[in-house]
Structure 1
Amino acid sequence: MKSTLNILYILIFALIAFLLDPCDANDDACGILANNLKRSNKDPNISVKHSDVQACFESFPYDKNLAEKTIETLKKTLQGFYVFLSEAKEQPRQGFSFTAIDLVKELDSLLSNNYKTDYQFMTDIASLISETKDAHLSFYPFCYFIFTYNQQLSLYSTVINDKQVINIFADEIDKNTIDCEVTHIDGRPSIEVIKEFADTLSISKDSGVRFNFALSGVTFNKNGDLIESPGINKLPGSFTFRQQLPKQSSVEYSLKCANDTSKKFTREWKIRPELSNTFNTSKDYWNTFCLLNDSIVFTSNAETVAPKIYNMSECKMVYKTTIAKFFILSDNKTGVVVLTSVFPPDSYFVNEMFEIQNGFNSLEKEGVKKLVLDFSGNWGGSVELAFFIVYLLFPETDPSFNLDMVVTELSREAFFQATSQSVHEDFVDTSLIFPFVNISSKESIARWAAETAYRVTTISSVFDIFSYKNPATNDHFHTVEEFIGNNTYLRGGTSTRYTSKFVNRYSERLSIFIQLLSGYFFNMYEWKSDDMIILTDGFCGSSCSLIAQRMALNNNVSTVAVGGYKDTPLSYSSFPAGQVLKFEELISQLDAAGLLQNETLADLIPPLFLIRALFGFTLKENYDVVNKDNLNQEGVLEFTYKPAEHRFYLDEISARDPSVLWLKVAKELLN
């Protein structure tokens, strides 16, 4: 009898504990994941289970208040500053593929859904933002993006004998599958499955570029080694290497290999955390990774695996910098410049300019007559450096595109307040000028001048109108009213105000010093437009796109695109936009301008997130060039389709040895 009573008491106490703290019922889900992670950390070959990750994610119930606050932050930011908010409602131009969307309306509609979990709500926001196909507009709830999901194999596409197929590029588990054709994935035609996945990516408005991004290839690391690049520079985004939880725990591949032998296998996702921060329960996980907490510092848990290095047969490297590699092809007359990024470390910015110039000088000294400019897989980066590279090859060209920003009640106040605090109307901060010492050569003078200019003309706010000038007058704006102007355009069926067209007053901080370094006074290269060709896989984004489009549109440099869908034109660049701004940067600049303290603007200011989230948006838009071949009204570059003039596809050799492709391009298009 006593034993029975004891059992009864235990059950009663357990029930009371459950009722008092119902959230503890969810603790088991992330607790199980935490225990498996501890085991996997001891052996990197062990993966946590897909079902455990999903259960942990789905253990957090939907919080209506948290959802409303998140939507409010997104909406007020977009309504105040997102330059493409109206244009996103427009149907795509021929050649592009995306869904016209009213972002504010769709964000509101999410709140009417009957969500059960926070995970589904947050991933629905991320998917909605992705539908714009604007790579500069992104929302990643940190809570659900801390793992990587790896198939431990990679895919690429070839066109052989007029047939496009998907092949296996590399396989960490079974080397015998390499170069086998993947006929089906999960029982469906492989290209159909890859396209379906690629069209969920936001990386480009061109579906062919998204297709390329979903596959793998090769790229150069900082050492100049040619290594595999799944998902472009091994960033999650490829079909086989992701950062968002896949719907299924595994993928089935049907192969056709040598001698028409068939093979089928199923591959589980290898799941690893990107961060080493520990947790033991759902509460731990939620407080560490999901709720905003500036006191928690994350530490990386990225795997360091020595990459396979691929060799090139038709070239030799003659120079390399942090972001550029310079080669001479086996024909001994064609140089290749591979630009992997436009984003050197800030402290090396001016040095990188000199280094890039040295690379071109090396090609010139070697007697190079033709240039292949390979911008494939380039995420962009510094607009200043993009301008410099255009100046370098075309020193008499203005590399700027006309820009504008959206004018709203909030952005208008930001222009007025930031400009009222500006020191840039008539002078720069001379306290930042370094002493003129150890100057003994033309290069040292140029370096001192460039580094000084870079520092003293640094703009503290993107809303400071004195940092911009009127391209029609070539003079800086003198008043905020002049900068704002009176410009209303009908876009997406909505009348929207925009600022006057502007360009950067200091050519993004360097102005005449860019021309000085580029050889405008010292040296001019003999290469002409007809001696060059731009080669990309379509993924030449942001400031890389500005380089490619300026050279192609204003300087008539030919373009060639690689990959994409067979017999479908492919863009040679993507998301040219104008400038991306992170949410934290926006808040910092609004705070510095005093807008956060202005109670009359309280209803317009986006509140801080209550969650950890990476949110960025496009602040400025670039306009197309108006020239003799394009007499129509300026169009917005982001929404203007620019297909390459020429097209090449990869085969089993050129997919791993780009020098073979470069030589083919040189022989067929530069002779």
Structure 2
Amino acid sequence: MSSIKVLLAFALGASNALAQPADPCAKIGGQKWIAPADLRACFTSFPVDPVIKENIIEVINKTLGFHTSTNYQIQAPHPFDRDVREDVLADLSRIRRRSRKSDCDLHIDFSRTLKRLNDGHCTWTNNCYDSLFLNYLPIPLVLLTDARGTQSVHIAPAAFDVSTADFPNQIQVWQDALPGNLKGKLSTLSGANVLQINNEDPFVAVNANAAITGSYQSFGTRQNSFFSSYQSAPTGWMYIIGNFTQQALPLHDNAELTLQVSGSIKPIRIKLPFRARNGPNTVAFTNSTTFRQNNCVARPTTNGIDINSLMDHAPIPNVDLPLTLQPPSSLPGSGGTAARFYLLKDRVTGVLALGSFLDVSYEALLESLYTGLVDLKERGAKRLVIDVLLDMPGFVCIAHLVGAKATTVPQAGLYTTARAGPLDQEIVSVLNRDPSIDSTLSLFYNPLAWRNITNEFFDADDHWLRPVVRKVINGRQDAFSPRLGQECQPQGFLIPPPEEGLFDAKQSVIVSNGRCHLQISITENGGTRNVVVGGKKDVKQHFCGVIGGQSTNFRQMDTEVKSTGLKDHSLAPPDLLVNGGQGITWRLGFGIKNPAEPAEWQDHTATINLPLTVQTSNNPQAIWEEVVKRVFTV
């Protein structure tokens, strides 16, 4: 380089030869709110490490050896034959062969491959990327139905109230992004009819989300996750803003919408920027090095070390449901647990709002449920609405508190089976030889934890995975345990079930958005009706998203392997090198009406698809009263 060029480079500070590339993670370090493009620049700045790539592939592959549905999900039976068709093992081989530009791109491939199983129990999560920051818009959407029965997508009527409560220091960014006379008038968009999203019909975006969001077998349930909803929680009523306005990865910078605002004849076009906010589990960082060290490397809780409890995933926080939408005060005794109780104005309809199966303890949940239901009966309730909107899978054994005792003894849950591969069988063999390994019954493979098909507990030396049941599923050989018996009594019945159901199943109705499997036991044992809220009219709505039988994760399986000294087994997964986790279904549940086949693949069509209106949108009490009108005769 000539002396003149060197001097110019020094003066301008622009020499490619001398300048060092900026650290994209340093640009966003320590910030709470950032532009998605800046976050992507950080995420995609790390090349693929072949050692880590191979480690993740091996962990997922070998953990799937414990997953009961791996071969079923290659092509699920009807009615989910179009919804679940993923050969995950073949796709992992594809990922192994294919190169990717960045570690983040590789993660997205892993994540979406597992999500194509449409099984919320079987997932891959890398906390280096997933929900480290959450991508937000201030306009949650709802699917509303007008008086003529026409359905259309709208910005939620409560959108501005919700957004100002949850994102107070970002509202001005969105206010300033509005065009022309709309600048500063974000509140006027609440309730607007959404004519287009990114220049296409809104349901193009809805269905695109349904194709990649995973979690639920039913296409209708995945469609519904695009929209906002609500949930009862121990801390109060929560507003869930939906997949359109809350994204776990910063893949989009803006959303363009064509709107018909109330009182305006001419449609308007707006372009709102996404904003990314750090998540509850983000560990502070200042540059690329500390970003990786603090958020991406395996933690002490990533791998199984000894016999311990399961890994807990913190829920993504959401804003409180606006006070104008919350039901009036619940009955005394509600609160502090996941259950709330109400008596409607007709004085004969009781409501149980069950927001989660997570509680201070299983016993506390049972106690609150039993006490609340008895109280409703004593107050004159003769019928029951059970609201489980946005509930997650949990303890099916609690169904005995509502249904008749004849349907819950001896089996209040589901008969199940576990996969019985060579490693699974060897784990049980080790425990047979030395029961002292698990004196506290912390290991899933301990024979003392299970009952046989005649509902008798296994002995410590019983190899409960044998005789192995051989099957050919979608052309592949598979192996399972004999059928396992009931598991609810006595521990599931800490409170004895009533001799007769507290409420007649035919005078009860379950209201959901199709995500809770509690309905299986109550509905199919007793004939309780099911209402799914807010689904598209021409799409079949299922009242049960994913049934499984028992879900667990890589960490627990690694604990089983390490505790029995089998970490060197050729089928044992290695320790995971990244801050991630693999979920699986460990036991597969059989159906109640058709006990010969897994419940996972049976038809659970809802009795009623209840359309939402401006009056009922995310308004629990209005929904309950509408359900009463449609389901019960006065």
Give the match for residue 530 of structure 1: 506
Judged with a 3 Å threshold, the aligned counterparts in structure 2 of structure 1 residues 357 and 526 are, in CA distance, closer, same or farther, namely closer
| Match runs of 1:467-546 below 5 Å | 467-471=449-453, 473-478=454-459, 479-481=461-463, 483-505=465-487, 507=488, 510=491, 513-514=493-494, 516=496, 518-520=497-499, 524-540=500-516, 545=517
Cα offsets for 1:397-434 (capped at 9, x unmatched): 2312110111111111112223444379xxx98xxxxx
- Asked if residue 553 in structure 1 is aligned to residue 527 in structure 2, the reply is no
Judged with a 3 Å threshold, the aligned counterparts in structure 2 of structure 1 residues 7 and 608 are, in CA distance, closer, same or farther, namely farther
**Aligned counterparts of 1:301 and 1:374: Cα–Cα separation in 2:** 20
- Asked if residue 78 in structure 1 is aligned to residue 82 in structure 2, the reply is no
**Aligned counterparts of 1:419 and 1:663: Cα–Cα separation in 2:** 56
Deviation at 1:498, TM superposition (A): 0.4
| Match runs of 1:430-449 below 5 Å | none
Deviation at 1:307, TM superposition (A): 5.7
Give the match for residue 30 of structure 1: 25
Deviation at 1:99, TM superposition (A): 4.3
- Aligned-partner SS, 1:140: strand
**Aligned counterparts of 1:102 and 1:229: Cα–Cα separation in 2:** 32
- Asked if residue 184 in structure 1 is aligned to residue 200 in structure 2, the reply is no
Cα offsets for 1:29-56 (capped at 9, x unmatched): 212222xxx4x44xxxxx3122211111
Higher relative helix content: 1
**Aligned counterparts of 2:300 and 2:491: Cα–Cα separation in 1:** 35
Q: Is the 8 A contact 1:273 1:301 kept in 2?
A: no
- Asked if residue 653 in structure 1 is aligned to residue 608 in structure 2, the reply is no
- Aligned-partner SS, 2:358: coil
> TM-score with structure 1 length normalisation?
0.81
**Aligned counterparts of 1:419 and 1:339: Cα–Cα separation in 2:** 40
Give the match for residue 285 of structure 1: 291
Q: Is the 8 A contact 1:90 1:491 kept in 2?
A: no
Give the match for residue 572 of structure 1: 543
Judged with a 3 Å threshold, the aligned counterparts in structure 2 of structure 1 residues 110 and 357 are, in CA distance, closer, same or farther, namely same
Judged with a 3 Å threshold, the aligned counterparts in structure 2 of structure 1 residues 138 and 303 are, in CA distance, closer, same or farther, namely closer
Give the match for residue 249 of structure 1: 253
Q: Is the 8 A contact 2:73 2:87 kept in 1?
A: yes
Q: Is the 8 A contact 2:133 2:248 kept in 1?
A: yes
Look up the equivalent residue of 2:511 and give its one-letter code. Answer: L
Moved more, 390-399 or 494-503: 390-399
**Aligned counterparts of 1:137 and 1:131: Cα–Cα separation in 2:** 10
Judged with a 3 Å threshold, the aligned counterparts in structure 2 of structure 1 residues 190 and 413 are, in CA distance, closer, same or farther, namely same
- Asked if residue 387 in structure 1 is aligned to residue 397 in structure 2, the reply is yes
**Aligned counterparts of 1:310 and 1:3: Cα–Cα separation in 2:** 73
**Aligned counterparts of 1:62 and 1:26: Cα–Cα separation in 2:** 19
Give the match for residue 208 of structure 1: 220
Give the match for residue 44 of structure 1: none
Judged with a 3 Å threshold, the aligned counterparts in structure 2 of structure 1 residues 305 and 201 are, in CA distance, closer, same or farther, namely closer
Deviation at 1:337, TM superposition (A): 0.9
Q: 1:157 aligns with which of 136, 143, 146?
A: 143
| Match runs of 1:359-398 below 5 Å | 359-381=372-394, 383=395, 386-396=396-406, 397=408, 398=411
Q: Is the 8 A contact 1:422 1:466 kept in 2?
A: no
Q: Is the 8 A contact 1:477 1:483 kept in 2?
A: no
- Asked if residue 126 in structure 1 is aligned to residue 126 in structure 2, the reply is no
Judged with a 3 Å threshold, the aligned counterparts in structure 2 of structure 1 residues 377 and 3 are, in CA distance, closer, same or farther, namely same
Q: Is the 8 A contact 2:83 2:118 kept in 1?
A: yes
Cα offsets for 1:464-517 (capped at 9, x unmatched): 12211122x221234544542231122121121100000355x27615x4352x
Give the match for residue 447 of structure 1: none
**Aligned counterparts of 1:76 and 1:657: Cα–Cα separation in 2:** 45
Look up the equivalent residue of 2:383 and give its one-letter code. Answer: K
Unaligned segments of structure 1, at least 5 residues: 19-23, 42-46, 232-237, 430-457
> TM-score with structure 2 length normalisation?
0.85
Q: Is the 8 A contact 1:403 1:503 kept in 2?
A: yes
- Asked if residue 335 in structure 1 is aligned to residue 350 in structure 2, the reply is yes
Cα offsets for 1:175-221 (capped at 9, x unmatched): 11111111101111112212211221112111110111121022223
Q: 1:662 aligns with which of 612, 619, 624?
A: 624
Judged with a 3 Å threshold, the aligned counterparts in structure 2 of structure 1 residues 578 and 276 are, in CA distance, closer, same or farther, namely closer
Deviation at 1:371, TM superposition (A): 0.7
- Aligned-partner SS, 2:258: strand
Q: Is the 8 A contact 1:92 1:100 kept in 2?
A: no
**Aligned counterparts of 1:658 and 1:260: Cα–Cα separation in 2:** 30
Q: 1:323 aligns with which of 338, 354, 360?
A: 338
**Aligned counterparts of 2:591 and 2:44: Cα–Cα separation in 1:** 46
The alignment of Structure 1 onto Structure 2 pairs a total of residues equal to 588
Q: Is the 8 A contact 1:391 1:399 kept in 2?
A: no
Judged with a 3 Å threshold, the aligned counterparts in structure 2 of structure 1 residues 27 and 464 are, in CA distance, closer, same or farther, namely farther
Q: Is the 8 A contact 2:449 2:457 kept in 1?
A: yes
Identity %: 19
Look up the equivalent residue of 1:510 and give its one-letter code. Answer: Q
Q: Is the 8 A contact 1:26 1:59 kept in 2?
A: no
- Asked if residue 265 in structure 1 is aligned to residue 270 in structure 2, the reply is yes
- Asked if residue 638 in structure 1 is aligned to residue 600 in structure 2, the reply is yes
**Aligned counterparts of 1:310 and 1:365: Cα–Cα separation in 2:** 29
**Aligned counterparts of 1:413 and 1:109: Cα–Cα separation in 2:** 30
Unaligned segments of structure 2, at least 5 residues: 164-170, 172-185, 303-313
Cα offsets for 1:260-315 (capped at 9, x unmatched): 5322211111111114533232222222222224499xxx9998976632345799
Q: Is the 8 A contact 2:259 2:268 kept in 1?
A: yes
Instruction: State the Cα RMSD in Å.
Output: 3.2
Give the match for residue 452 of structure 1: none
Cα offsets for 1:205-264 (capped at 9, x unmatched): 1111011112102222324x4342223xxxxxx111111122x31001111122353222
Judged with a 3 Å threshold, the aligned counterparts in structure 2 of structure 1 residues 304 and 120 are, in CA distance, closer, same or farther, namely closer
Give the match for residue 453 of structure 1: none
Q: 2:425 aligns with which of 391, 412, 430?
A: 412
**Aligned counterparts of 1:15 and 1:463: Cα–Cα separation in 2:** 63
Judged with a 3 Å threshold, the aligned counterparts in structure 2 of structure 1 residues 132 and 95 are, in CA distance, closer, same or farther, namely closer
Deviation at 1:167, TM superposition (A): 0.8
Give the match for residue 465 of structure 1: 447
**Aligned counterparts of 1:654 and 1:10: Cα–Cα separation in 2:** 66
**Aligned counterparts of 1:509 and 1:423: Cα–Cα separation in 2:** 24
